[in-house]
Amino acid sequence: MALLQLDRLTLRFGGLTAVNDVSISVERGQIFAVIGPNGAGKTSVFNAITGLYQPSSGCVRIDGRTVRALPEPADVVRWGLVGLATGLGAAVAINANTLWDAAINQSAHLQPFPWSTSWNALVASALQGPWTTVPLAIGAAIGVGAAWNAWRMGRCTPDAVARAGVARTFQNIRLFRDLSALDNVLVGMDRHLHARGWDAALRLPRHRREERDARETALRELEFVSLGTSAHLPAGSLPYGHQRRLEIARALATRPSLLLLDEPAAGMNPAEATKLMELIKRIRDRGITVVLIEHHMKVVMGISDRIAVLHYGNKIAEGTPAEVRANPQVIEAYLGKEELG
Amino acid sequence: MIPSVLSVASVASVASVARLSAFLLVALLPAIDLLLPTTWKFASLVPAIMVYAIIGLGLNLITGFTGLFNLGSAAFMAIGAYTFAILTCPIYPFQIGFFPGLLAATAMGGIAGLLLSLPVMRLRGDYVAIVTLGFGEIVQDVLKNLDAVTKGTQGLNPVAVPAMPGVSFSVGNYVPWYYLYLVLLIAVVWLCHNLRYSRLGRSWVAVREDELAARSMGLPTPWIKQIAFALGSALCATGGAMFASLAGTSIEPGFYDFQQSVIILCIVIVGGMGNITGVLLGACIMVGFNSIVLTKLTEMMSRNGWTGDNVLASPGNWKFMLYGIALILMMRLRPKGLLPAKEVPAELRYRDRDRDRDKAPAGAN
């Protein structure tokens, strides 16, 4: 089965159709390139895959399944609890003075304090009149409404997609600039770490061992993209080409089965581009399927197993590099129509 | 290359020497204070600084690490102080004592923070500030109007003082307070430091730096922000309870107003957002200026008879003018705070190398 499948994907923003009825399927272990002139909708496709945009119609399947973050029972339960807390809170807040007077202030002078009498007085006072039931009912309504809304709004979110095994880089580099290169990679690894907050807060041995192992793995990941020597520099201070590679390392650290690269060779000189091609091949050799958007034709033709061409949101061609290169529609999209006569 | 390595090493050692001597000074201050002439003794005012340092560290988790602008920290201080006061005040039957009261106040602050963070978690920047600002006003009004519970503007008193075998905590003797609060402060610093350099702290900074990228790496960003909010609020509430115990009263609701929140925010900004040492320094500067420098100045002026009808004759009236000027100068000269974040040595190294690289083509031409 195809690892990534776009099934008649359409994205509309107001009156503008950015992606129109595009179907693509990417097999495991492929390097798949999406090319097309500027504004063809390539990045929009990536954003739809990673859950930043919701498809207007059609769907994205990863490993045969549509990713959907919600409805998770936990989230619905959480909103139910919020409603309950609101109701109780409102009931208590409205009656706090009366309740406190009945339960505490009336018998505060007694020694020892009569807890059971006080509790009975509290309950009796709470059951009196509509000021308890009305806020409780309102709270219950809020809780049910919010839980229902959480259910209805259930959609695929970027974190759910990432947890399903899809990692990406961004066209305009989005690193955590104040964190060191190593920490950037460690953030990528986060979903494979298990230490809880209190382990960390008290520096329990479990947490320290996990951190040490994680650091080693992260360092190996940095060495994989030849950034081992820059591990402790802030990401924002790295040169541009290094930042691009660091973003790839961070994405690889999530241990994805599918890696989306958005213009990885942008702004690179020919030597750097050649090294990047090597890197992408090595990523593929690790068993990771790669989908890339690229304008650098040497890179695209050199490494891709298959290429899809987008033009004004429509897929106009798909095939091996040789097929795409020979396709008249593609030539027209890139170079314009030949003038006759 | 060699000079840059040297400068990095010296920066590091200067910092550690400074830190060690600061610690020794703080640890020995009560002894040093004995040697000072009576009019210049000030160590009894220092526990308040430690309390504000803890509150500042709490806000630092929210605003410094996670980048959520919180203008309602005084409200959490109030929640802590009033929870502590209700549970320990002799007019109510609970009277659970100092340490259980402190824990209860912390838990209450955490719960309140968690609840407030639910509507906040999808917001960012200015919007979080507006929500927390509103929350601050609500808490003040609630405390004022729940007079059966909180005694309105009178405040609740007396509240519990710490009870430890062999040590008596009283208003007259500040030394036990000093060391107890110092120990609590060190514990909080240790916790915050551990959290910052853990999985959770990295996620907080990642959310601050680029929430979308963090989310695309699989981090559940709403939940991460909620944890920061809950923990930070819990620490603010701890500080509020400690302050109440030190003052002997929950103080009145009007004390926990917007100005209080701004002072706490200034503590975080002045020292350097997201830097633990910076927050400690900020607390020393902001609260030290207010409760030590201005107090001593007032005493000195009244000793010398420099009083009069002029508004400037009372140093308390200069306070906010000086705060304002200080903030303007800060924002102009050191917008990242007095002590920028820890990445400094690495940045220095980069700048050196960068300069070399920039020079190279010029030389070639």
Residues B13-44 have pLDDT tens digits of 777 888 888 889 988 898 898 888 888 888 88
What single DSSP character describes residue B36? S
Is a pLDDT exceeding 60 seen at residue A332? Answer: yes
A341 Cα distance to chain centroid: 53
Q: Give the C-alpha separation, B85 to B157, whole Å.
A: 7
Q: Residue B14 class from Cβ within 10 Å (0-12 exposed, 13-18 middle, 19+ buried)?
A: exposed
B142 with A158: Cβ contact below 8 A: no
Under 8 Å between Cβ of A104 and A117: no
Residue A261 sits at the vertex; the CA angle it makes with A255 and A267, to the nearest 5 degrees, is 135
Q: How confident is the model at residue A280 (pLDDT cuts 50, 70, 90)?
A: very high
Q: Give the C-alpha separation, A158 to A254, whole Å.
A: 13
Under 8 Å between Cβ of B159 and B249: yes
Q: Domain residue spans in chain A?
A: 1-70+155-165+257-321, 73-148, 176-255
Q: Is A180 on the interface with B (CB under 8 A)?
A: yes
The residue among B116, B144, B216 with the most chain A CBs within 10 A of its CB, best to mutate, is: B216
CB B167: neighbour CB atoms within 10 A?
13
Q: How confident is the model at residue B227 (pLDDT cuts 50, 70, 90)?
A: very high
Please report the pLDDT score of residue A86 as a whole number: 75
Take residue A181 and report the two structure tokens written for it: 């290169």
Is a pLDDT exceeding 70 seen at residue B171? Answer: yes
- Domains of chain B by range and CATH? 45-359 (1.10.3470)
Q: How confident is the model at residue B354 (pLDDT cuts 50, 70, 90)?
A: very low
3-class SS letters over chain A: CCCEEEEEEEEEECCEEEEEEEEEEECCCCEEEEECCCCCCHHHHHHHHCCCCCCCEEEEEECCECCCCCCCHHHHHHHHHHHHHHHHHHHHHHHHHHHHHHHCHHHCCCCCCCHHHHHHHHHHHHCCCHHHHHHHHHHHHHHHHHHHHHHHCCCCCHHHHHHCCEEECCCCCCCCCCCEHHHHHHHHHHHHCCCCHHHHHCCCHHHHHHHHHHHHHHHHHHHHCCCHHHCCCEHHHCCHHHHHHHHHHHHHHCCCCEEEEECCCCCCCHHHHHHHHHHHHHHHHCCCEEEEECCCHHHHHHHCCEEEEEECCEEEEEECHHHHHHCHHHHHHHHCCCCCC
Residue predicted with more confidence, A113 or B98: B98
* Mean pLDDT computed over every residue of chain A: 87
Is a pLDDT exceeding 50 seen at residue A214? Answer: yes
Across the interface, of A97, A157, A180, the residue whose CB is closest to B149 is A97
Is a pLDDT exceeding 70 seen at residue B344? Answer: no
B215 with A162: Cβ contact below 8 A: yes
Q: Give the C-alpha separation, A55 to A70, whole Å.
A: 16
Give A 220-259 residues with CB within 8 A of chain B.
232-234, 237, 250-251, 254
Is a pLDDT exceeding 70 seen at residue B124? Answer: no
pLDDT tens-digit series, residues A114-135: 888 888 888 888 777 677 777 7
Residues of B within 8 A of A115 (CB-CB) are: 93
Please report the pLDDT score of residue A88 as a whole number: 76
Residue A291: strand pairing partners: A32, A260
Residue predicted with more confidence, B48 or A201: B48
CA distance B342 to chain A (A): 10
Under 8 Å between Cβ of A262 and A248: no
CA distance A77 to chain B (A): 14
State the average pLDDT over residues B341-365: 42
Residue B175 sits at the vertex; the CA angle it makes with B173 and B178, to the nearest 5 degrees, is 125
pLDDT tens-digit series, residues B51-106: 999 999 999 999 999 989 899 999 999 999 999 999 999 888 888 999 999 999 99
Nearest residue in chain A measured CA to CA from B274: A178
pLDDT tens-digit series, residues B247-289: 999 999 999 999 899 999 989 988 888 889 889 999 998 898 8
pLDDT tens-digit series, residues B173-224: 889 999 999 999 999 999 999 999 899 999 999 999 999 999 999 998 888 9
Is a pLDDT exceeding 80 seen at residue A25? Answer: yes
From the candidate CATH numbers 3.40.50.720, 3.40.190.150, 2.130.10.10, 3.40.50.300, the one assigned to the domain spanning A1-70+155-165+257-321: 3.40.50.300
The owner of tokens 């499948």 is: A5
Give A 2-41 residues with CB within 8 A of chain B.
none
Tell me which range, A70-79, A152-161, B280-289, is most confidently predicted by mean pLDDT: B280-289
Take residue B217 and report the two structure tokens written for it: 């790496």
Q: How confident is the model at residue A72 (pLDDT cuts 50, 70, 90)?
A: low
